[in-house]
Chains A and B, each alone.
Chain A
Amino acid sequence: MLKIYPVIAIIGLVISIGSVIRKSPFFNFTGILVCIYGLLKSAEYVMPALPSQVILMYMAMSFFSFFIYFSIQEETFKAFLEPMRAVFADDNKALLRVLIVFIGLPLFAGYLTYVKVKPTYDPPVSARIVHPEPPSQMDFRGKSVNVLGLENPLRKDAANFAKYVEEGKKIYYQNCFFCHGDDLDGKGHLSQAFNPVPLPFRGTDTIAQLPESFVFWRVSKGWRGLPAGSGPWNSSMPSFEDFLTEEEVWKVIMFIYDSTGNKPRSW
């Protein structure tokens, strides 16, 4: 696919080089600005696109610095203004004059004003903290549990590891996969209905960053446990203390780690 912005940058460069040869500072100035605009926009092919605010700022800076540059010497400045004067005054530029001065500019100014005064409406956006600070203490069906330093009791029974993971698998596919996905990628067949969408467990910036105690708290308390900064009112993550026992929660946690090849954070 042809990339448009680099092409714009090159056209700008050609204009400005051509106008250096023909000694026309005005077109040199225009060419440089076009080239800079093309380059700034091209940035999006190699990095996240620059926000339009930033581009506007850079363009304004370039405009003024080059304008000052071209207006320092009187000779150059005269030559710089010449094309503009010609469009207004020269008799052989009548067509250009009608097109630019009497049609183009008024319409463009009108359009800019329209964009400015037209009201725009955008729905509220809410930033949410994905991994909030867990409380040091929680209750599980009325029983008090210390989250701080909490360890998975089933991990000590290494002989039965495979059995626990398999039991966790069954729990996962009867309670979680609709949302978190068959492949634990967060793309369950019902996930689209919810906002925020369910989180993936696969990959490195997921449960791999969390200690098991945190996950125990998240699974047990679900949306109800979230602090205001995490927008509990939008979260569909159920409070699994309503549906599972403590041991079942530990088993499903073992499954989501084991099946994604992730390890709980232990530091």
Chain B
Amino acid sequence: MDMFIRRFLRMRILIAVLIAMCFSVSVYSADKPADNPEGKKIYDGWCAQCHGYKGDADSFTKDVSLPKPRDFTFGSFKFRSTPSGDPPTDADITKVIRNGNPGTSMPPWSRFSDAEVKAIVGHVKSFAPDTFAMETKPINVGNPPKASKEIIEQGKELFKTAKCVECHGNAGRGNGEKGWQADFKTDWGYGIAPANYTHPWELRNGSSLEDIFRTISVGLSGTPMTSYMDSIPDDKRWALAHFIKSLQLTRKLGLALKVRKTETLPSKPNDPAWEAVDYLDLPMGGQLMFDTRNFTPVITNVRVRGLYTSKELAILLQWIDKKPNDGSDGKPSDSIRIQFPINKLEGTELPYFFMGTGKAPVNLWQWRASDKDKVSSMTAKGPDKIEPKEKPEATVMATYDDGLYSVVFKKELKPAKDDPVFEAGKFIPFAVAAYDGQNDEDGNTRGAISAWYYLMMEPPMPLRVYVFPPLVSLGVLIAGIGLRKRLRKKKV
């Protein structure tokens, strides 16, 4: 009897294993997803071009996106609310599909119904059946403590002691030493860069305080960003989250930058005086109109500020470069260019926004990290017709602080008749192109570019603004007094 039971027990396990195997073959095989035709249909239509028909990311876009689309067959999911090592919940995958992955090519999908997304999630999971065989549940995020100076200070301290700086850098710009070692790779075998917190619009896993707390807690599977759930207690992770939140910049998009007049210009590009000056953020895109195209730009934002005196115009350009290259490490040197029209054109007409054309050329001022404080002035009549100028039209100063390049171009101002483009009170078109050597960006065309924007040297307030309003007020007051006197007399 005993024997029999034991044999049965052993058999039961065997039977269970057999059933499980049949199950996994018939249900989870990607080639025969008989049970979820709708999920497969939408996935093949709208996800496969990036994630691959087989879920293996061997896809159309694999060479034209950075980061590369996820290989689902690997079974590792970066974006989870669950403990490290666990699969994501259906809600996690749904969240990625609905919100997209900021800063990557993974778009937010709002067009699909909830039922459709559910079917897609089922299909995504079918690529890694083993991963999803496990039960899991989200970690408890709890209630965040309020932001305060103390908690941010504490987070800043922890950021150093917990060694986040080694990857993310002192100022959280993703420029830590460790991130640039040769073996800094994902489990999928691709290079990766530590996150730059100052661009909240690019945080993959969300930029709210809770999102950041969750990311620190559970980590991003498959990447060097590990889980800190066990090594750092809750309250300290909140402090870290508050510190990270405090580093986020506010992006200011627009068409024009107004440049104020001052007595003296700040002496250095990283002079704190610049921080009080109004700014404009230029979203940057890859250069895609001319060969060689740049599908994967990494400089995504250039912040512009300006000041002018009666003699000079200064333009400050700031952008994040996690790994500076000055041309000495086998990579091209980092560089930036600002472009202005050479001539005034009819109406709203402008030269072509990238490097002009033969008919309407542009002026370029270029700074290269390899040339330190030297500026190159050039005339461009299209990306393949760039001629250096003998005399530089501007001077340049540059600094690199903890992942941030700050470059100031200065130009001497002349009377409007000698220099019609740079006239105070007029909207002066400019465009920017930036090149990151680490990303092999070089030449004219492989870079990140902006559209045309305008900067305007705001003329000082005309005197009449200070004179007329008080005069009119006074006039009205006198008239009022007069009227009062007359009406009162009448009554009497």
Contact = CB atoms under 8 A, between A and B. Distances in A.
* A associates with B: yes
B487 A88 contact: yes
A233 B452 CA distance: 9
A236 B60 contact: no
A236 B107 contact: no
Nearest to A181: B107
A25 B468 CA distance: 35
A208 B84 CA distance: 48
Contacts of B291: 242-243
A102 B477 CA distance: 6
Contacts of B324: none
Contact of A121 (B360, B425, B464): B425
B451 A234 contact: yes
Contacts of A182: 46, 49-50, 105, 107
A: contact size bracket = 35 or more
A183 B63 CA distance: 19
B425 A189 contact: no
A189 B107 CA distance: 7
Contacts of B350: 233-234
A223 B350 CA distance: 13
Nearest 8 CB-CB pairings of A with B: A193-B285, A110-B473, A190-B285, A126-B348, A195-B451, A89-B487, A123-B256, A173-B60
Contacts of B295: 178
A132 interface: no
B297 A190 contact: yes
Interface in B285-306: 285-286, 288-291, 293, 295, 297
Interface string A101-130: 110011101111110011101011110000
A107 B427 contact: no
Contact of A233 (B49, B111, B353, B480): B353
B155 interface: no
A169 interface: yes
Main secondary structure of the interface of A (DSSP, over half): helix
Contact of B480 (A101, A177, A179, A222): A101
Contacts of B111: 183
5 contacts: A110-B469, A113-B468, A190-B288, A236-B451, A243-B293
A232 B357 CA distance: 11
B462 interface: yes
A123 B451 contact: no
Given A173-B61, A222-B289, A193 B284 contact: yes
A189 B202 CA distance: 11
A236 B288 contact: yes
B289 A177 contact: no
Nearest to B291: A242
A239 B383 CA distance: 14
Contacts of B464: 117
B352 to A, nearest CB: 5
A181 B46 CA distance: 11
A40 to B, nearest CB: 27
B283 A192 contact: yes
Given A117-B469, A234-B350, A174 B484 contact: no
A88 B283 CA distance: 59
A110 B472 contact: yes
Given A85-B487, A117-B464, A189-B107, A106 B476 contact: yes
A179 B451 contact: no
A263 to B, nearest CB: 18
A126 B346 CA distance: 12
A101 B484 contact: yes
A193 B462 CA distance: 36
A183 B107 contact: yes
B258 interface: yes
Interface in A164-180: 169-170, 173-174, 177-179
B456 to A, nearest CB: 6
Given A123-B256, A183-B111, A193 B468 contact: no
Given A85-B487, A105-B476, A243-B291, A173 B50 contact: yes
A211 interface: no
Interface string A220-239: 00110000100111101011
Contacts of B288: 178-179, 190, 236, 238
Interface of A: 85, 88-89, 97, 101-102, 105-107, 109-114, 117-119, 121, 123-126, 169-170, 173-174, 177-179, 181-183, 187, 189-195, 222-223, 228, 231-234, 236, 238-239, 242-243, 259
Nearest to B489: A89
A109 B473 contact: yes
Contact of A177 (B105, B293, B354): B105
B459 A119 contact: yes
A117 B469 CA distance: 8
B348 A113 contact: no
B352 A193 contact: no
A107 B61 CA distance: 64
A118 B465 contact: yes
A193 B104 contact: no
A114 B483 CA distance: 25
A248 B64 CA distance: 18
Which of A85, A107, A126, A174 gathers most chain B CB within 10 Å? A174
Nearest to B464: A117
A121 B451 contact: no
Contacts of B59: 173
B459 to A, nearest CB: 7
Contacts of B50: 173, 182
A183 B468 CA distance: 56
B398 interface: no
B132 interface: no
Given A114-B465, A182-B50, A233-B352, A189 B104 contact: yes
Nearest to B255: A123
A179 B475 CA distance: 59
B450 interface: yes
B474 interface: yes
A121 B458 contact: yes
B241 interface: no
B491 interface: yes
Contacts of B475: 109
B481 interface: yes
Contact of A192 (B49, B285, B461, B476): B285
A231 B351 CA distance: 10
Contacts of B96: none
Nearest to A242: B291
B49 A194 contact: no
Which of A110, A170, A191 gathers most chain B CB within 10 Å? A110
Contacts of A119: 459, 462, 465
Contact of A170 (B60, B348, B450): B60
A111 B465 CA distance: 11
Contacts of A194: 285, 451
